Amino acid sequence: MTIDAAELRRRTAQLLAAHPPATTDRLEFLKARFDAGLAWVHYPEGLGGLGVPRSLQAVVDAELEAAGAPDNDSRRNGIGLGMAAPTILKYGTEEQKQRFLRPLWVGEEVWCQLFSEPGAGSDLAALGTRAVREGDDWVVNGQKVWTSGAHNSRWAILIARTDPDVPKHAGITYFLCDMTDPGVEVRPLRQITGEAEFNEVFLTDVRIPDSCRLGEVGDGWRVAQTTLNNERVAIGGMRLPREGGMIGPVSKTWRERPELRTHDLHQRLLKLWVDTEVSRLTAERLRQQLVAGQPGPEGAGMKLAFARLNQEISGLEVELRGEEGLLYDDWTMRRPELVDFVGRDAGYRYLRSKGNSIEGGTTEVLLNIVAERVLGLPSEPRTDKDVAWKDLAR
């Protein structure tokens, strides 16, 4: 049967009739939506979708929004939805997909990403966290860092070294790690905004059953590429209405406070407004191109633009507001569940956007990716690619 927009509307109406949002518990509604295949329509049947083009999601979302139905508050589980889910979909066993995707999508289980380490950020493949096989389990020891949301997370995507005797990219395996394991210790890291969105995570004799390995032993680097390519699209390519991002608050101030305007600021704001719109529409096109496929290195370009624009726009906003822009009234070490650029003040936006050119791959590293994999320019010299990880200088 062909599932087109009309059929999706019919199925959405059926869901609403069977589970009226006004009288149905939020979680129950979300589970019923998942089971009806209306959660992420491009996912396969039985896993929250119907195997139809991703662009048709908008049809379902519009009907549900008009009916006042609850959504899954996707910003609270950005790593789960944007990165863990597509990786599980691509590499997971049937059992793993059935176990993890539903609670992830409805938001019952929030996910974090245990990738970066104190000695392995841009050079992620150099990571030293060890996983050693013991019977049906893997025993994991090591330290991760900058783990966003680890304090709220039930599960983590984790990469660890399972073979130190082969070159660094070859000896890595990908796992799904239970954050409630007694060997997982989460400590806050306070950042420039005063808050602690992220953490250091210490892993001491954490036991991960082999059934929570994602992909083959030693194939973790390839599996992680799916996560990382999706991360860049999730960070830089999110769907926004016009003026929905950083440009919104500064445009509002510009309209409401004519006394702050100068000719120079006007020219800069106009240019940034146009750049933002170009970037927003390019992200839309990228999402349409992806349909149900996996993103490639093009996502790096979106993330580069996102970081540059956020930093320039928030800088302009602070300048526009003059002394007011320098005020920052809350240095409490909070543990926010999500990053909310638009709901906070100008000082927050300015400080928080500094991290945009580091998270999800630094600007320099993403430029290398675009140069090599999009433009086909010669790659950086890699002297360590044939050396066993254990023999690398660290």
Binding site for ligand FAD (CB under 6 A): 112-113, 115-116, 121-122, 146-148, 198, 355, 358-359, 361-362, 364-365, 368
Provide the minimum distance between the beta carbon of 108 and ligand FAD in the complex, in angstroms, as a whole number.
20
Q: Cβ closer to ligand FAD: 249 or 360? A: 360
Q: Which residues pair with 176 in a beta bridge?
A: 157
101 membership: H or E segment, kind and range:
helix 94-106
Provide the minimum distance between the beta carbon of 198 and ligand FAD in the complex, in angstroms, as a whole number.
5
Contact 154, 104 (CB under 8 A): no
Q: Cβ closer to ligand FAD: 57 or 116? A: 116
Tell me if residue 134 is catalytic: no
23: three-class secondary structure by DSSP: coil
95 membership: H or E segment, kind and range:
helix 94-106
Contact 108, 27 (CB under 8 A): yes
Q: Cβ closer to ligand FAD: 122 or 152? A: 122
Q: Which residue number places its CB atom closest to ligand FAD?
A: 121
Q: Cβ closer to ligand FAD: 37 or 301? A: 301
Q: Cβ closer to ligand FAD: 55 or 141? A: 141
Catalytic residue among 197, 231, 298, 317: 231
In degrees and rounded to multiples of 5, residue 157 shows phi and psi of -90, 135
Provide the minimum distance between the beta carbon of 106 and ligand FAD in the complex, in angstroms, as a whole number.
22
Q: Cβ closer to ligand FAD: 33 or 161? A: 161
Interacting residues of 1 by C-beta distance below 8 A, sequence separation 6+: 7
Interacting residues of 311 by C-beta distance below 8 A, sequence separation 6+: 353, 354, 356, 357
Could you give the count of Cα atoms lying within 13 Å of 74 in the half-sphere of its Cβ? 12
| Number of H-type helices and E-type strands within the chain | 12, 8
Buried b or exposed e, range 22-58, using 16+ CB within 10 angstroms: eebeeeebbbbbbebbbbbbbbeeebbbbebebebbe
DSSP string, 194-257: S---EEEEEEEEEEEEGGGEESSTT-HHHHHHHHHHHHHHHHH-----TT-STHHHHHHHHHH-
> What amino acid positions are annotated as catalytic residues?
231
